């Protein structure tokens, strides 16, 4: 069951509903090629001087049309703002859609990457090793700007890819693997490693997981393949065991980038890989990847403190999908050992 979104900024929501142009399915943000392997160091930060005013936000997302094969659900495709505003502007919008052939709605979050800066938090289980500069729990200094956080990918033994953070290759990066790439300025790119995204001096984090799920604004052939087992070991309501049967339609999560550079995230129950890809595409993703799966691991939370500079905390967090096992307290738990991504307000001035 999806939570009822908090309706703040009613004028913005009404404006979103009036829009009729769905996000274009081409182009997008990429990391530019400099070398084919990670450098020994994260590289210098961008050399451009900060601007004197906050960067403009992206246009709010257009209302999404429900899939024609999906059952009618009230409010499908209507976006509502969630999480703390950035300089008075909503930076995260949420909605729900039932995928084609599905019966239950999945949650979709749209994040304004001009207003938000991404950071990869590493864990002792994924990727393993450490210690890392950024790991659970989120510290008070970072909590004052935290807007949203969401789960990372598989354990590295089954991720089919590598992991790079803060100038160190923890697991070697794999050509062709689906990759979430974060630059020194907190911008995010997603794509196939070595083609649409590659190493540059500004790259500070690369999280790979399997192969691309969306490319060129459409599901990849692998997403549409009947071999759904290649998208991970799906288990029941409890932890994976050798006696737990695999389930094609399972809790899954994924992330993608739109043509204008927004970041979209999807999670929901009873999703096949193709349904997850279809949802990312409907939300405007031109490139996308699957993240973690199974009931215990998928979650996105937004935080809305009572004051603009107040700290994010479990008490002011809200889940994108109410029935996810993890929630607002997950990223503040010192025992949390999995990687995750935070989206924080960029400071005024860019």
pLDDT of the residue at 115: 97
pLDDT of the residue at 72: 87
- Count of domains forming the chain: 1
Considering the domain boundaries, does residue 5 fall inside one?
no
Considering the domain boundaries, does residue 1 fall inside one?
no
Considering the domain boundaries, does residue 27 fall inside one?
yes
Query: Cα–Cα distance between 318 and 32 in angstroms, integer?
Result: 35
Considering the domain boundaries, does residue 261 fall inside one?
yes
Beta-carbon-side half-sphere exposure of residue 243 (alpha carbons within 13 Å) = 1
Considering the domain boundaries, does residue 300 fall inside one?
yes
Range scoring the smallest mean pLDDT among 68-77, 262-271, 334-343: 68-77
* Locus of tokens 């996105």: 300
pLDDT of the residue at 73: 87
Q: Give buried/exposed letters for 337-349 (b at 16+ CB in 10 A, else e).
A: ebbbbbbbbbeee
Considering the domain boundaries, does residue 155 fall inside one?
yes
Confidence of residue 237 (pLDDT cuts 50, 70, 90): low
Given a cut of 50, whether residue 337 has pLDDT beyond it is yes
pLDDT of the residue at 8: 38
Query: Cα–Cα distance between 142 and 60 in angstroms, integer?
Result: 26
Query: Cα–Cα distance between 175 and 195 in angstroms, integer?
Result: 8
**Side-by-side strand order, sheet with 300-303:** 116-121, 340-345, 146-151, 300-303, 317-319
Given a cut of 90, whether residue 137 has pLDDT beyond it is yes
Considering the domain boundaries, does residue 102 fall inside one?
yes
Sign of CA dihedral 72, 224, 338, 45: negative
Given a cut of 70, whether residue 68 has pLDDT beyond it is yes
Residue 210 falls in which region: left (phi positive, over 0), alpha (psi -120 to 50) or beta? left
Confidence of residue 37 (pLDDT cuts 50, 70, 90): very low
Query: Cα–Cα distance between 194 and 182 in angstroms, integer?
Result: 15
Beta-carbon-side half-sphere exposure of residue 149 (alpha carbons within 13 Å) = 31
Given a cut of 90, whether residue 275 has pLDDT beyond it is yes
> Which whole number is the average pLDDT over 33-62?
52
pLDDT in tens, 186-234: 999 999 999 999 999 999 999 999 999 999 999 999 999 998 989 998 8
Considering the domain boundaries, does residue 48 fall inside one?
no
Residues 288, 293, 297, 299: what is their CA dihedral angle, to the nearest 10 degrees? 40
Q: Are 8 and 174 in contact (CB under 8 A)?
A: no
Residue range of the domain that includes 90: 10-38+55-221+247-345
């Amino acid at each position: 069951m999806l939570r009822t979104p908090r309706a703040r900024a009613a004028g913005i929501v009404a404006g979103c509903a009036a829009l009729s142009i769905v996000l274009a399915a081409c182009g997008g943000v990429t990391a530019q090629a400099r070398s084919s392997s990670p450098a020994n160091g994260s590289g210098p930060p961008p050399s451009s001087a900060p601007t004197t005013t906050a960067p403009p936000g992206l246009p709010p997302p257009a209302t999404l049309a429900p899939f024609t094969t999906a059952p009618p659900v009230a409010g499908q495709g209507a976006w509502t703002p969630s999480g703390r505003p950035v300089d008075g502007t909503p930076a995260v919008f949420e909605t729900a859609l039932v995928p084609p052939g599905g019966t239950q709605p999945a949650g979709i979050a749209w994040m304004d990457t001009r207003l938000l800066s991404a950071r990869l938090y590493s864990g002792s289980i994924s990727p393993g090793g450490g210690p890392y500069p950024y790991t659970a729990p989120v510290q008070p200094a970072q909590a004052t700007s935290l807007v949203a956080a969401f789960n990372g990918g598989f354990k590295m033994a089954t991720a089919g890819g590598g992991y790079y953070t803060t100038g160190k290759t923890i697991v070697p990066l794999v050509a062709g693997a689906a990759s979430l790439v974060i630059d020194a300025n907190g911008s995010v790119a997603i794509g196939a490693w070595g083609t649409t995204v590659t190493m540059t001096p500004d790259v500070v984090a690369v999280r790979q997981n399997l192969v691309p799920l969306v490319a060129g604004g459409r599901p990849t052939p692998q997403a549409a393949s009947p071999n759904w087992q290649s998208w991970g070991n799906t288990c029941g309501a409890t932890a994976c065991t050798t006696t737990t049967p695999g389930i094609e339609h399972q809790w899954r999560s994924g992330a993608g980038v739109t043509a204008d550079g927004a970041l979209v995230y999807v999670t929901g129950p009873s999703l096949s890989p193709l349904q997850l890809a279809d949802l990312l595409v409907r939300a405007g993703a031109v490139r996308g990847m699957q993240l973690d799966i199974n009931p215990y691991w998928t979650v996105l939370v937004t935080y809305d403190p009572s004051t603009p500079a107040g700290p994010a905390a479990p008490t002011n967090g809200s889940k994108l999908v109410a029935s996810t096992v993890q929630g607002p307290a997950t990223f503040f738990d010192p025992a949390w050992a999995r990687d995750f991504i935070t989206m924080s307000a960029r400071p005024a001035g860019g």
